[in-house]
Structure 1
Amino acid sequence: MLAMVILTPLQASRADISDLFKDFSLKDELELGRKFSVLIKSRMPLIEDPEVVSYINDIIKRLQTDMKPQPYKFEGNVILDNSLNAFAVPGGYLFVHTGLLLELENESELAGIMGHELAHITQQHITGRIAKAKKTQLMGLAGALAGMFIGGGSTGPGLAVGSLAAAQSAMLNYSRQDEREADQMGLIYLTGAGYAPQGMVGGFEAIRKKKWQSGSTMPAYLSTHPDVDERIISLGDRIRMLPPDMLKRPEDNKRFNRIKTLIRARYTDPKIALRHFDRSAPDDCMSQMGRAIALARLNRITDAADNFDLALACSPNDFLVNREAGSFHYMKGDLDRAATLLQKAILLNPRDYMAFFFYARLLGDKGDIKGASRYFEELLLHLPEDSEIHYYYGRMLGENRYLFKGYLHLAYSALYKNDKKKTDYNFGLANTNAKTPEEKQELERFEAKYQERAEFWDK
């Protein structure tokens, strides 16, 4: 009963879903979210590894445990950037920066910050302000949101598209009341998902600590609110009043630490990553894998192979270790060893699409075009905007004289890499080789995707 008293006072204030949108309709919100997502994907580097992306989306699903039904499907993405940032925008899109993932100590801290951001959506903090600007174009609003959420980060310049968007970003900024409400609702989501409530405070304290170390990495929406200390104190007081069994919930960081290892090894400076892994315990299987990945990036192939062998011996039935070792041996040309490891990774985890990707390439290299195509097509059902999948599939098809599909996939690859020149070039060749009505329809579908990106390329 005490938990209900503490965690539910805002529940009654949630508007009925039919009253939420008023002048700014649900359709408008979903369209704005889609445009914002396209803008971010056309301007910023995203982590495509399904293991990382699915992890974020699994936390979102868990946080929905104590949410009332929502009118949209949440989508999580990971931005390759060292800022301690995460933000959610209307339409259900949530973005987490890799810098935040690497800085936090516990999954509950990450979930606390994500719950706070999701609460900004469920409580209509942005849509309430947008509804007042009836004549504003959605693309301008997408740029304004970009300026609000990322404008101060290392990848932020130029994201506020046009002067209108830049002016609107100030209007859209969260109020102090919005932030307090998001804190409280986020705590409800966090505890409803079974996390330790202390994670909410821990996450914000990590961001606050970073502010004093380097103000430029502070999220703009948080650094502009001087009452963050007061909010942390208020949350701490609320958490201390929760039932003892809730306060004693254990932390489970196994998957969180795996994701951090993967990000650190593959996407940060490999020399710095190697020093980090060298400080780990000798029997830490994940650190052995991370060390091997970093060594491979430094072109220390023999050392990398030795460390992959150690990681496999340490954790022979870990799909991630098998996948990373398999992809390493594929890249160094040992196709037989790679095939064995990648097949095992797929058996251990049929959703390991990165293993699918390298195994598809391997089959293509061995001349099994039909087998490779089946894997590539399966991949594109789950990862339709992955530029690397389109590139290697298109290249394999082109080399085997399937010219229309080859050029079309190369055009998609260039499109999702935001390379307009190569997109136009390969689309022109696909158009030249289109013969059937079905192929003409495929070109029309491509043109629709092209227009989504071109809308922002030209600004």
Structure 2
Amino acid sequence: MGCNLTMKKALQHYHTTNNAPFWKNLLCALVAVLIVALPPVQLAKANILDTFGKFGVKEEAELGKKFSILVKSRMPIIEDPEIVSYVEGVLDRLQEHIPPQPFPFEVNVIVDDTLNAFAVPGGYVFVHTGMLLEMEHESELAGVLAHELAHITQRHIAKRIEKSQKVQLISLVGMLAGAVLGATTESGSNVTGGLITGSMAAGQAALLNYSRDDEREADHMGLIYLTEAGYNPKGLANSFAKIRKRKWQSGSNMPTYLSTHPAVEERQDYLADRVASLPKDLQDRPENDTKFKRVQTLVRSQFTDPATALTYFAKQEQTPLILMGQGIAAARINKVKQAADFFERAVEGAPKDYLVLREAGKFHYTKGDTNKAIFLLQKAAVRNPDDLMTLFYYARLLNDKGDSKTAATYYQKILQVLPEDSEVHFFYGKMLGQSGDEFNGHLHLAYSALYRNDAKKTAYHMKKAKAVATNEKQTAALELLKKQRDERAAYWE
């Protein structure tokens, strides 16, 4: 998967012979010297731990954690493991070719139709659903993420923070939120802007603004990470082109970096020229988009306007995957008969596809056909025993049939992987309460409300749990819940 020697030399040659006009001060000149002195991949592999200054690992991790809590307290986060694990997989593939980091990376997918993705200090990565849907190939999504990771590995934000040590952490969280998330409407529903290739817009976040040289370095390093990970190197420049095209076609919101960096066309040309200098076998790498298309179908059918999704799917080849998407979208607007037909045709066309079986099983469960749901979900579980969504609905079926003990083992297994899934906490809490475990029932219902950012219901169930707590273990569990509640409540409006 790594770059061969020819590719390394090609990248190095282009970078060292075409960058001179952009190094405008002594610091940038020094960076240029370092890049000339070291092959790009060697520079990429430099130990990031050696570059940490006064704003160290602890401070970066704390800033990232607080920012992550802020985002989760304001934005709808997808918990579907099929979608989240896919994005994690793309990130993991890139991570194998970036410098060692002092913290693990965490991925979250935000339900928002703007074309945005960003990574912040501390290893927190966020991708908007709009970015997942607008890209044509996985390599383009990977290109965006590679660029964002480069901003972190090169410590572009952290270095700027180091220059202003008097700024308090809470102020930095606010600045970072303004810069990354941009302005919101009065309802808080329209989040724009982002860090994708340097989108720093608000005047209050001038401290965090990426420079033109930061962007060039992130372009350079991002292309290295992308290519070393085995992707088609055209992915990064192609992602730029698609974002600009959508802006002109629809007039929709565009990441701030494109509106504040008028030289984006020049950057696209620069990247295209660099790719053209690579060996042809790298330029012609095949695109493997099978998983990407599956995730796009799930996102479109579950998290966009269902009527619009149905119109889109109707224009596509009627594969089992597309039929599944139509079934999901139709069910969301209560077209039950139509949805049932779509799912029947999808299962008939792909009887061994666990995703199709799972979604069909979910549909039949929600419309009350328990026997058909069990049949489909059991088949899905056989095909993929690790699919947590299948296990979740199977647990609900088991509880409905009176086997709460077995259902509890499934709920617990899911929460080990998805500890912040509000829906799992909700149904697990209801089951526990119905079976007589009042404390844990209210505890999980409180967590469910917390992760839905429902302050009133969180407080209600915390109070109920506290009233029935009888031992130190339960008291400690309440203290942990209170701590997490307080972290989020700091950002609740």
Assess same fold via TM > 0.5. Answer: yes
2:184 maps to 1:149: no
2:127 alignment counterpart: 96
Matches within 5 A, 1:354-373: 354-373=389-408
Describe the SS at the equivalent of 1:191.
helix
2:22 alignment counterpart: none
Opposite residue 205 of structure 1, the aligned amino acid is: A
Task: Give 1:380 deviation, angstroms.
Answer: 0.6
2:228 maps to 1:188: no
2:6 maps to 1:2: yes
Describe the SS at the equivalent of 2:156.
coil
Opposite residue 385 of structure 2, the aligned amino acid is: P
Describe the SS at the equivalent of 1:22.
coil
Which range moved further: 355-364 or 403-412?
A: 355-364
Which range moved further: 393-402 or 38-47?
A: 393-402
Q: Is the 8 A contact 1:53 1:78 kept in 2?
A: yes
2:77 maps to 1:46: yes
1:65 alignment counterpart: 96
2:311 maps to 1:275: yes
Opposite residue 3 of structure 1, the aligned amino acid is: M
Which range moved further: 107-116 or 297-306?
A: 297-306
**Aligned with residue 246 of structure 1, among 282, 285, 309:** 282
Instruction: Give the gaps of 5 or more residues in structure 1.
Output: 160-164
Task: Give 1:152 deviation, angstroms.
Answer: 4.3
**Aligned with residue 473 of structure 2, among 438, 441, 446:** 438
Q: Is the 8 A contact 2:179 2:193 kept in 1?
A: no
2:165 alignment counterpart: 134
Once the two structures are superposed, residues 341-400 of structure 1 have per-residue CA deviations (whole angstroms, 9 ceiling, x without a partner) of 112212211221111111111111111110111111111100001111111111111122
1:109 alignment counterpart: 140
Give the TM-score, by structure 2 length: 0.88
Separation of aligned partners in 1, 2:66 and 2:210 = 20
Q: Is the 8 A contact 2:193 2:254 kept in 1?
A: no
Once the two structures are superposed, residues 19-52 of structure 1 have per-residue CA deviations (whole angstroms, 9 ceiling, x without a partner) of 3221101100011111111100000011111100
Matches within 5 A, 1:287-326: 287-326=322-361
Once the two structures are superposed, residues 213-236 of structure 1 have per-residue CA deviations (whole angstroms, 9 ceiling, x without a partner) of 355521123321111111100000
Opposite residue 391 of structure 1, the aligned amino acid is: F
Separation of aligned partners in 2, 1:259 and 1:298 = 21
Structure 1 pair 244–119 and aligned structure 2 pair: CA distance change class (3 A): same
**Aligned with residue 330 of structure 1, among 334, 346, 365:** 365
Task: Give 1:196 deviation, angstroms.
Answer: 0.6
Task: Give 1:456 deviation, angstroms.
Answer: 1.6
1:162 alignment counterpart: none
Matches within 5 A, 1:160-199: 168-199=204-235
Describe the SS at the equivalent of 2:78.
coil
Q: Is the 8 A contact 1:149 1:221 kept in 2?
A: no
Q: Is the 8 A contact 2:246 2:252 kept in 1?
A: no
Separation of aligned partners in 2, 1:158 and 1:412 = 30
2:259 alignment counterpart: 223
Structure 1 pair 373–211 and aligned structure 2 pair: CA distance change class (3 A): same
Describe the SS at the equivalent of 1:95.
strand
Describe the SS at the equivalent of 1:143.
helix
2:16 alignment counterpart: none
Opposite residue 198 of structure 1, the aligned amino acid is: K
Task: Give 1:103 deviation, angstroms.
Answer: 0.9
Structure 1 pair 178–61 and aligned structure 2 pair: CA distance change class (3 A): same
Separation of aligned partners in 1, 2:395 and 2:272 = 51
2:381 alignment counterpart: 346
Separation of aligned partners in 2, 1:10 and 1:4 = 7
Opposite residue 440 of structure 2, the aligned amino acid is: K
Opposite residue 247 of structure 1, the aligned amino acid is: Q
Task: Give 1:137 deviation, angstroms.
Answer: 2.2
Instruction: Give the gaps of 5 or more residues in structure 2.
Output: 13-38, 195-200
Task: Give 1:13 deviation, angstroms.
Answer: 4.7
Task: Give 1:328 deviation, angstroms.
Answer: 0.5
Describe the SS at the equivalent of 1:78.
strand
2:246 maps to 1:210: yes
Structure 1 pair 222–92 and aligned structure 2 pair: CA distance change class (3 A): farther
Once the two structures are superposed, residues 72-118 of structure 1 have per-residue CA deviations (whole angstroms, 9 ceiling, x without a partner) of 11111111001011111011111111111111111111111111111
Describe the SS at the equivalent of 1:457.
coil
1:24 alignment counterpart: 55
Separation of aligned partners in 2, 1:423 and 1:388 = 14
2:434 maps to 1:424: no
Matches within 5 A, 1:74-89: 74-89=105-120
Which range moved further: 449-458 or 12-21?
A: 12-21
Describe the SS at the equivalent of 1:126.
helix
Separation of aligned partners in 2, 1:198 and 1:157 = 26
Describe the SS at the equivalent of 1:196.
coil
Task: Give 1:457 deviation, angstroms.
Answer: 2.0
Task: Give 1:17 deviation, angstroms.
Answer: 2.8
2:487 alignment counterpart: 452
